[in-house]
Structure 1
């Protein structure tokens, strides 16, 4: 009874937001039309992406792939039950859920070179190293050092490893029906992929551990990214949003984007996010969108109004995936990914058109 009351209140709260005419420039209710009430929210008030077990080609195209595209998560998706899950990784024990690499199996490919990112504080380096060295660093590196095998093309792996990663049938259901690129991602939690958008549709399959993903529709993500860039450069810039550009991995841009996307108290006050980073005028920091009244503060200009309603109430979706789960991320949808827990987290993805 208590749970039903909480869900009912959450549903009513978000319906009030959708009805608010001032939000329609940035909150497109059609995008969220498939989320039938009641639906659940995170502790910070972020809507949870609804889960499904399977999806058929016709349903996928009509409800998710075709415009307006919508993200989809499938639990224990049959095409995501890949050999790599059991052959590459040791599952965490029930009493201590720390997934690990199955070194005995992978060491036969130890001489194969893989792209690895090593970061510690503000230091970031991307290099190629043997798989055996990556496995050793993953086990021995200090806790404050992140070692991440990131965006390693599947088609450049040894043939036997490629065979352990079966392309999901979902990638054949696009307009062209081709998966033109794919990658694996393996590292010790917490792993991190910054807020970005992909040039085409994406299917992410979890192999080991858990990852949490925040997603934003294209217009909202554009506004968040534009604001973060303008804070950093104070001038015109090219909106490239490369998936793992070095400027997005360390430094001020990463900090701003991380705070805007992952702030968990549900208030989404941009002024507070930026003020804590410094160099923001105090008068500007006082301007924020009042989500309760739906009215701007006294003295706010039309430009302030538009900017703060766009960023200050940036609506995102969230989902957490585990081994055997698959997440479809539509073309143009912004997303950021974090590895959870302890031990190894691993995933594979396929970009398709």
Structure 2
């Protein structure tokens, strides 16, 4: 298992149970969904979504024209996090490159702002991320690459119907004996390192890795909520676990939660999974989790997830809802 920032004497972290993609819908339902236990399913990706990506002449994975060349693709919700002077230099170089030479594309005002905050959000075409990948491919030194540019939680239902077909709900969520409601589906595309802070979802989550690797750390609702409240008390805050804003992305809460969850003294109940391309993770309802890319050199990282819930069949006990 990859070390997660704790040093030589870091507390061991439990690994989430994994199975192969041959698991059937009934077994997944009984052994993961009903008992509310996280489960990794290896190599279960639908092949159609692989058409969204290809290797460029530099050997880096980039976005295919099927995604970037679709005139019906809406603007994407970007996040950008700056952490150092190094980030400022790389961002400024990227903006200059965009505005001159062959790129000839205006940079979003947020990226062009020299006095921008640590964390910012804006909407821009998906071509911006494609250009950033192209820019990074020209720099062997990772310090010169533009990083932490992240399309976070883009709803699939806002994409062209042809693209939506590439991301149909996985077969494991299509159990005929127990109808399933898929509430929302999102894609996550960004330049590593990418990071999602400690939070919980109101519905079960089926998370699929597409490009690159991500590690996830999880805790059940009770222990996970306890970690959140301990951090709130430690930093003198009273933020709600249900209504989260930019405080989870910057400032003392972000730092404290990251150190608590990913540091060497992480809670003993923490479970971890590292997903590569074609791997999936079932996250039960209410389980707290944080997500981060394994690599940090500015390469593309891509994921998709489905929030869902099985409807209880007639005659089935309430304990299986």
Determine the structure 2 residue equivalent to 1:128.
123
Match of 2:222 among 215, 219, 224: 219
Measure the CA separation in 2 of the matches of 1:199 and 1:62. Answer: 20
Q: Aligned to 2:292, which of 338, 342, 349? A: 338
Query: In the alignment, which of 94, 105, 108 is matched to residue 69 of structure 2?
Result: 108
Following superposition, the deviation at residue 144 of structure 1 comes to: 6.1
* Residue 350, structure 1, aligned to residue 312, structure 2: no
1:335 Cα offset (Å): 0.7
Task: Give 2:236's match in structure 1, choosing from 226, 233, 236.
Answer: 233
Query: CA offset at residue 48 of structure 1?
Result: 1.1
What SS class does the counterpart of residue 248 from structure 2 fall into? Answer: helix
- Unmatched 5+ stretches in structure 1: 1-41, 269-312
The separation in 2 between residues aligned to 1:163 and 1:99, in whole angstroms, is 26
Counterpart among 175, 194, 208 of residue 205 in structure 1 = 208
In structure 2, what is the equivalent of residue 57 of structure 1? Answer: 25
Q: What are the equivalent positions in structure 2 for 1:190-339 lying under 5 Å apart?
A: 190-234=193-237, 236-240=238-242, 242=244, 245-263=245-263, 265=264, 267-268=265-266, 313-339=267-293
Runs of 4+ in 1 over 4 A off after TM superposition: 173-176
* 1:65-214 equivalence runs, <5 A: 65-67=33-35, 69-77=36-44, 80-85=45-50, 87-90=51-54, 99-109=60-70, 112-121=74-83, 123-140=118-135, 143=145, 145-173=147-175, 177-214=180-217
Q: 1:228 Cα deviation (Å)?
A: 1.2
Deviations 1:196-238 (A, max 9, x none): 110000101111111111111111100000111122335x543
1:27 aligns with none
Q: Deviations over 1:123-166 (max 9, x none)?
A: 11111111112322344375464110110000101122212212
Task: Confirm or deny: 8 A CA contact 2:201 2:288 kept in the other structure.
Answer: yes
TM-score w.r.t. structure 1 length? Answer: 0.66
Partner Cα distance (1:331, 1:92) in 2: 39
Q: State which structure, 1 or 2, has the greater radius of gyration over its C-alpha atoms.
A: 1
Q: Is the 8 A contact 1:99 1:209 kept in 2?
A: no
Q: Could you say which structure has the higher helix fraction?
A: 1
Q: CA deviation at 1:89?
A: 1.6
Deviation at 1:82, TM superposition (A): 3.2
Give SS of 1:109's match: coil
Q: Evaluate the alpha carbon distance shift between residue 252 and residue 138 of structure 1 in structure 2; reply closer, same or farther with a 3 A threshold.
A: farther
Q: CA deviation at 1:99?
A: 4.4
Cα deviation digits, residues 282-301 of structure 1 (max 9, x gap): xxxxxxxxxxxxxxxxxxxx
Let me know the Cα RMSD of the aligned residues.
Answer: 2.6
| SS of equivalent residue, structure 1 residue 185 | strand
How many residue pairs match? The answer is: 256
Question: For residues 74-119 of structure 1, what are the alpha-carbon distances to aligned partners after superposition, in whole Å with 9 as ceiling and x for unaligned?
Answer: 1112xx223122x1222599xx9x7421344433126631111122
- Compared with structure 1, are the counterparts of its residues 258 and 92 closer, same or farther at alpha carbon in structure 2 (3 Å cutoff)? farther
- 5+ unaligned residues in a row in structure 2: which ranges? 1-8, 84-116, 137-143, 310-321
